[in-house]
């Protein structure tokens, strides 16, 4: 059985739980996960009944691509006005309960869908039913094919970091470091970066999502580098904090607190734990050291086709960690007049605990 059909088989039982007869998938990453189709335009219909083939509707630009990437799907062309192709797609479904992804459709898109659907005769018209988080919850647990791609993305990330940090010198701008990272990653197999690399030196590093500037990096400044390659659709995420030359007295003290928080969480996190309790493992270390207010984001998140996926590991999380999830562990401390330190690994959570995909070494120092 192909991985695509295995995924369809994981989706179908959830449709019965949601009390729908089929699911309309419009969200880009859910569509790719369920079908393998990587084009920018397309809608899927996944029937709950495994006797019916799933459907992929797309426009002329992607017909050949759809047939190649999604051979198990019936490919339907989106041709002409929406009323025409929606009628051709939906009428054969009949009077079923058709779930749609409420988190993806905008108010205007939902209105348009509802209006064109209403023009189908009532005896042949599917009823549109709001659903939430069906595919996303399944995507949270990775299959073997996904794990292989995530490991490859992590390896590219490690290699790009090693290349850039071996070359960087005082006087380079943050933007130049970011570009050095991207050039290497793309030149060695990455299709793109998973997100714009964060390179933040000195006080700029106190902004967790700082954008790289055309500002020269100085000797002795802490430099937060948060980056990730994307390979075959799958993302990696890693952060290291480094210093060029001699650091000040504060750096090893802050760094060791963050490292202790990171290693505590990495060693103690386990399936069955809530995202809130996982976050607390690291947060308590930082709070006990007197920097709780300076750790203002969550401990981590899921990673896959998107850089931020289910589960969320943070103080408000209600997610439960499960074996097979790929997550990040990324505690940090941020001091506005000095800078920041963040250390992040990405890896697999299984029955034995957390196994990092990130191979880049961490600094080892005593404050």
Query: In this structure, how many other beta carbons lie within 10 angstroms of the beta carbon of residue 315?
Result: 13
Residue 17 structure tokens: 């739980």
Residue 154 structure tokens: 């992590």
Q: Give the helix/strand (H/E) hosting 300.
A: strand 300-302
Burial annotation 96-105 (CB, 10 A radius, 16+ → b, else e): bbbbbbeebb
Task: Encode pLDDT of 59-80 as tens digits.
Answer: 999 999 999 999 999 999 999 9
Distance between CA 172 and CA 334 in Å, rounded?
23
With pLDDT > 90 as the criterion, what percentage of the chain qualifies?
A: 96
Which pLDDT value is given to residue 1?
41
Among 88, 76, 75, 96, CA closest to 116: 88
Domains annotated on the chain, with CATH: 3-139 (3.40.350.10), 144-356 (3.90.230.10)
Which pLDDT value is given to residue 200?
98
Task: Encode pLDDT of 235-269 as tens digits.
Answer: 999 999 999 999 999 999 999 999 999 999 999 99
Strand-strand pairing, 325-329 and 309-313: unpaired
Which of helix, strand or coil describes residue 56? strand
Q: In what order do the strands lie in the sheet with 309-313?
A: 309-313, 300-302, 325-329, 345-350, 353-356
pLDDT above 80 (res 2): no
As a whole number, mean pLDDT of residues 280-289 equals 98
Task: Encode pLDDT of 131-151 as tens digits.
Answer: 999 999 999 999 999 999 999
**Predicted TM-score of the model (pTM):** 0.95
């Amino acid at each position: 059985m192909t991985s695509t059909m295995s995924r369809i088989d994981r989706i179908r039982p959830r449709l019965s739980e949601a009390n729908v007869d089929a699911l309309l998938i419009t969200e880009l990453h859910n569509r790719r996960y369920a079908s393998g189709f990587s084009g920018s335009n397309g809608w899927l219909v996944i029937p709950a009944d495994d006797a019916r083939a799933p459907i992929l509707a797309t426009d002329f630009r992607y017909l050949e691509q759809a047939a190649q990437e999604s051979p198990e799907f019936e490919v339907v062309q989106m041709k002409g006005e929406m009323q025409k192709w929606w009628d051709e797609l939906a009428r054969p479904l009949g009077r079923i309960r058709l779930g749609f992804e409420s988190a993806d459709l905008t108010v205007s898109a939902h209105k348009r869908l509802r209006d064109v659907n209403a023009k189908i005769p009532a005896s042949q018209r599917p009823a549109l039913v709001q659903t939430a988080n069906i595919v996303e919850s399944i995507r949270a647990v990775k299959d073997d094919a996904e794990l292989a791609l995530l490991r490859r993305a992590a390896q590219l990330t490690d290699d790009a970091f090693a290349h850039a940090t071996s070359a960087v010198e005082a006087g380079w701008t943050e933007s130049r470091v970011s570009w050095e990272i991207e050039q290497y990653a793309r030149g060695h197999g990455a299709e793109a970066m998973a997100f714009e690399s964060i390179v933040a030196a000195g006080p700029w590093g106190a902004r967790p999502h700082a954008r790289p500037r055309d500002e020269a990096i100085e000797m002795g400044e802490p430099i937060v580098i948060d980056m990730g390659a994307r390979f075959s659709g799958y993302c990696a995420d890693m952060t290291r904090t480094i210093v060029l030359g001699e650091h000040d007295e504060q750096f090893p003290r802050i760094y060791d607190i963050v490292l202790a928080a990171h290693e505590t969480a990495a060693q103690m996190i386990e399936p069955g734990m809530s995202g809130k309790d996982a976050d607390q493992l690291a947060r308590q270390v930082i709070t006990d050291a007197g920097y709780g207010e300076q750790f203002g984001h969550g401990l981590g998140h899921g990673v896959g086709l998107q850089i931020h996926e289910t589960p969320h590991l943070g103080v408000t999380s209600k997610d439960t960690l499960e074996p097979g999830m790929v997550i990040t562990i990324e505690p940090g401390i941020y001091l506005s007049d000095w800078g920041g330190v963040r250390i992040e690994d990405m890896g697999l959570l299984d029955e034995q605990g957390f196994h990092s995909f990130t191979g880049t070494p961490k600094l080892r120092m005593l404050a």
